[in-house]
Amino acid sequence: MPPRSEDCLYLNVYSPTQGKATGLMPVMVWIHGGAYIIGSGSQYDATSLATKGVVMVTINYRLDLFGFFSTEDNTMPGNYGMLDQIAALKWVKDNIASFGGDPNQVTIFGESAGSGSVSLLTLSPLAKGLFHRAIMESGVSLSPWAFQFPSNRVTARMTARLISVAAECDDLENSTSLLSCLQQVDAEMLLNVSIAVTNAVDSSIIMTPRVETTFGFLPESPVTLLSRGKINHIDTLRGFNSDELGGKIPAFIQNPHKPITMELAKQVMALQLKQFTNLHLQEVLKLMQATFITDTLNSDLLRREALDAANSFSFVAPTLIELNDVVRTAPEKRHYMYEFNHRPSFSKAPQWMSALHGQELFFVFDVQSKEWTDSGFGPPDATDILVSQQIMELWTNFAKTGNPTSTVPKGGVIWNQYSPGTPYYLRINSTSESKLWSNPLDVDFYQKLLEKMTGSKMPVSPIIG
């Protein structure tokens, strides 16, 4: 088990200048993922990115109940982990010039829950002016796991009550008294109780950011903020991997050659729907099936479509819908979308799968980095190295200029800006391609679902493919 500590609010700065630069350099601030419950900034060696002419910062924030416990009132509103991210960004604004970084040219980027965090920061009034560009790798505020949706069967308050009772703090009707009691409980014990409760309720991610006006980090739901255009106007770049959930589906990993039946396909899709009540889950499952499953008798196709449905629900569709709203609200800024499609040479996934959740991280943080190869990921082959060099260049170009292909290599491809009318995206592989997104099913399906998850009618965000 990795080390755990309450004393966690540190950040790491990687500067290629040692204070000798003639001009200040663009800054990139990394927000790690880990389902809002695990991870740290120190897991990521940003040395290679810093050699590309940017000052790199990796941050920590409070996790699990220390970051997100909430009684849904003013005493314990939640979002403490998000306030830590704001505090880190304020520190960067005030201090990064001492490390050769330009406080007026800050790009935040993150993956999974870190990407959800980045997306939420682009909506938060508390983050206004603290950064100028944002990169989101596999996750946005509208992702079903990114914040507390009103329709979730386990609410923040329910979770708080379950943890409190297990920690022998039972004044559940008085939040002030409850807080005092919880503050006396050993931190390690409290964390173990939280982990046990999370496992017991079996409802996917339950420690998440939430709508609250006490701190005002997220004063209204992301759906409302996006539809009303109440967002921070910045350049954005966002995307997902081709087979995000491929590595998280036991049926596909443990028995890669077993034929897939419709029953098994339903189980695969239902794995992502644990946050719903059973009645709601069956309704969503029917919608998924009607949208994505075209042939129940072709096992290979059924397997592909079941995975596509799960990926769309968690990553693809929320990204598209959010991006359409962002482009509509901030058309004066640049917006880009990608699909990371490179299967690492060292992948252990079944051959029919491409890039899994988190696998772009090897390439963003240099696939030749010792931290990866020492952990058994690699050694990379020549194609891996090529893809890694390409993505590091794209990401740092975006941080420097707002245009990821500001320096196009010979034979390289221009990454066109995204708009709902011309939904360009870059499919990143050894030979990257500029393409037009041509599957409106993703948006239609998730638009209907968002209405159920939020209990409100959604404005339509068309894609013309």
What is the four-CA torsion angle of 93, 94, 100, 104, rounded to 10 degrees? 40
Do residues 42 and 12 touch, judged by C-beta distance below 8 A?
A: yes
The catalytic position among 137, 212, 244, 322 is 244
Angle between helices 80-95 and 113-123 (to 10 degrees): 70
At 78, the amino acid letter reads G
* DSSP per-residue codes, 311-357: HIIIIIHHHHHHHHHHHHH-TTS-EEEEEE-PPPTT--S-TT--PPT
CA–CA dist 217, 236 (Å, integer) = 20
Using DSSP bridges, classify how beta strands 235-241 and 335-340 pair: parallel, antiparallel or unpaired.
parallel
The catalytic position among 32, 132, 335, 357 is 357
Is 357 labeled as catalytic in the residue annotation? yes
Is 244 labeled as catalytic in the residue annotation? yes
What is the four-CA torsion angle of 87, 93, 95, 100, rounded to 10 degrees? 140
Using DSSP bridges, classify how beta strands 133-137 and 101-111 pair: parallel, antiparallel or unpaired.
parallel
Exposure class string for 270-308: b at 16+ Cβ within 10 A, else e: bbbbbbbeeebbeebbebbbebbbeeeeeeeebbbbbbb
CA–CA dist 336, 341 (Å, integer) = 16
**Furthest-apart CA atoms within the chain: distance in Å:** 67
* DSSP per-residue codes, 131-200: -SEEEEES--TTSTTTS--TT-SS-HHHHHHHHHHHTT---TT-HHHHHHHHHTS-HHHHHHHHHHHHHH
Q: Return the half-sphere exposure (C-beta side, CA atoms, 13 A cut-off) of residue 15.
A: 19
Instruction: Please report, for residues 94, 300, 320, the alpha-carbon distance to residue 121 in angstroms, rounded to integers and kept in the order given.
Output: 18, 40, 18
The catalytic position among 70, 112, 138, 227 is 112
Using DSSP bridges, classify how beta strands 11-14 and 55-59 pair: parallel, antiparallel or unpaired.
antiparallel
Q: What sections of 2-112 are H helices per DSSP?
A: 47-50, 64-68, 80-95
Cα 181 to chain centroid, rounded: 34
Do residues 210 and 67 touch, judged by C-beta distance below 8 A?
A: no
Strand partners, 134: 108, 236
* Active site residues per annotation: 112, 244, 357
